[in-house]
Structure 1
């Protein structure tokens, strides 16, 4: 009989932005840039009073959600009704998808210029879990997940990656629904009841609870008023 302890959990599924990498700050800045520019445009064209995109808006309406859903959620909070459009819309299009694509360009511009940074404690945890034989997955609403993980040379650690691209391919619902986390478990050959979710967004914590995961670890959000 082996003297090794059998782990209580067989898999850990991590969120990306704000958990593994410090890109949550970059996302928040990109959202603020896009929305503030658009709201100022509406002030000029429609004489609507300008009210900036704030930290509270980021946390309540876009944090952890698929990009276009985040756009629609924030616009609804301001009473702004735009056509949905198409994912192929240009960044000049005044549609939900057009604004989402505008935000994505702002994020990618910063990523290409500055790269991405990993939280040292998260990196150590990933390697410790890998060495212990725990299956690792990453689940993110972002369609930039693969590019970010490649930029920090961590993609190879994960046996499953469920991001915005995979979600679109499989018709998965975004957070707070648990689809991306349960799909990651399925790809890993693990059960949610014996898996852990690590998140920093309220919507992600809600998703972990809905998915029947054995444990959901909620990390404090690292977005401050200065960042957003």
Structure 2
């Protein structure tokens, strides 16, 4: 029996992949680099140490990883303060699972402070018992670490949990961790057919995500 639902954040709760892409593009351009969609795909699922190092190494950034992390996250917080791009149907889906008695968690590649900031902005802080960042584990997605950590924090075996993901790396991470994977594919950065094939269920939108469809 399924006891818990673990949501990714970027691309599942908040339509933020395009925001991350725009912020990194502007940031890299500030010291003469050219950030592309291919660069963005390479960083999807990476934890903060990984993507900060990627920017420094790939673009010969004139700053260290800590400065890069601070600058990019500050730019993101400013964007989210101005406009919060909520995924349609996300808040309703989360509350439906909470009302149905499931334990809820977020397992995201975003920094912990950004996860807490966005969950609060969404008005969902009280329904999530666990918020986990890939920064708290050794390896980011597509490795399973963050999902295993979230399930451990929840006190739930991964086989008794559902993951809701949008990206290829996220799908692979959740599947490798042993969760039942529901994919709501990103339209901006869709997962490859190979990655999508690892999902147990594919939905068109978060409006389609309802406790009634998980008869497990």
The equivalent of 1:25 in structure 2 is 18
For residues 3-18 of structure 1, the aligned pairs below 5 Å read 8-18=1-11
The answer on whether the counterparts of 2:45 and 2:170 sit within 8 Å (CA) in structure 1 is yes
Count of aligned pairs: 187
| Residue aligning to 2:69 | 100
Work out the CA distance in 1 between the residues paired with 2:74 and 2:101. Answer: 38
Matches within 5 A, 1:147-226: 147-163=117-133, 167=136, 171-213=137-179, 215-223=180-188
CA contact (8 A) 1:139 1:163 kept: yes
Paired with 1:75 and 1:221, the residues of 2 have a C-alpha distance of: 27
1:127 corresponds to: 95
Please tell me whether residue 58 in structure 1 is matched to residue 40 in structure 2: yes
Contact kept, 8 Å, 1:19 with 1:122, in 2: the verdict is: yes
User: What is the correspondence of 1:29-108 to structure 2 with a 5 Å cutoff?
Assistant: 29-38=22-31, 40=32, 52-59=34-41, 61-74=42-55, 76=57, 78=58, 94-108=63-77
Shift of 1:217: 1.9
Q: How does the TM-score come out when normalised to structure 1?
A: 0.74
The answer to whether the 8 Å contact 1:18/1:222 transfers is no
Q: Distance in 2 between matches of 1:122 and 1:30?
A: 23
CA RMSD of aligned residues (A): 2.1
| Contact 2:104/2:128 (<8 A) preserved | yes
Q: Does the aligned pair in 2 maintain the 1:25–1:222 contact within 8 Å?
A: no
State the alpha-carbon separation in 2 of the partners of residues 29 and 223 from structure 1.
12
Shift of 1:24: 2.5
* Aligned mates of 2:20, 2:110 — CA distance in 1: 10
Q: 4+ runs of 1 displaced by more than 4 Å?
A: none
CA drift of 1:196 comes to 1.0
Q: Secondary structure at the match of 1:136?
A: strand
Look at both structures and tell me which one has the larger radius of gyration over its CA atoms: 1
